[in-house]
Amino acid sequence: MFKEKIALKSIIAILFILVAIGIISTPLSQAQYWEALPPYNLLWPLWSPALSPVDTVTGLPVPLITQLTNNTILPVQPVLAWDPAQSLPWALYNIPSTLGGGLTYFSPFFGLNPWPPSYLLDSGGLPNPINLPAGFGALSPIIIDPFADFVSIANLYFLAAYPQGLFATAVANLLTPAEIWALPTL
């Protein structure tokens, strides 16, 4: 009887510890909103189910791509990548292969430009990774209100710049702001 009480107390203590660990670690895992992608250390949004679907095994969001270079082929468009020193993220698109392929990014100030921006390259043309602030993964997600128009305008600008891409499935089916931010459809 005495051994059974000790065994029961041990089981209860172990269960209590497991529950406490679960309660403590859940907010920590939810606080990871961004992941740095090599080679430039740009932030990829883990908060967007369209860009970082949840892994069914781990339950954690996983970026659709593992690196972001000029030759990366995006499985969806646009994707958002962010340098936290900049006020806006970039909307990135695949350039149609008939025009040489690669990536382009939309800037509301300068339109479409070849990826990457020049400041992300060193004098020899090699990647010049940005320095990320401590705790970059916990930076707040980008709020949709000011950026819904940004993504819509970027999509229109891209389609106007590459009209021949309208016939390509990957270009004709651009993600909407609602899809990027996983907003319910009305």
pLDDT, one tens digit per residue, over 55-70 is 999 999 999 999 999 9
What pLDDT, on the 0 to 100 scale, is given for residue 167? 52
Q: Which of 26-30, 120-124, 154-158 has the highest mean pLDDT?
A: 120-124
Residue 175: closest CA among 117, 106, 128, 98: 106
Residues ≥6 apart with Cβ < 8 Å to 41: 129, 130, 131, 132
Residue 107, strand partner residues:
111
- pLDDT number for residue 186: 55
Question: What global pTM score does this model have?
Answer: 0.78
CA distance 2 to 50: 56
pLDDT reported for residue 67: 96
Domain ranges of the chain: 1-30, 34-180
In sequence order, the 6+-apart residues with CB closer than 8 A to the CB of 173 are none
CB 82 within 8 A of CB 150: no
Cα(2)–Cα(8) distance, integer angstroms? 10
| 84 SS3 class | coil
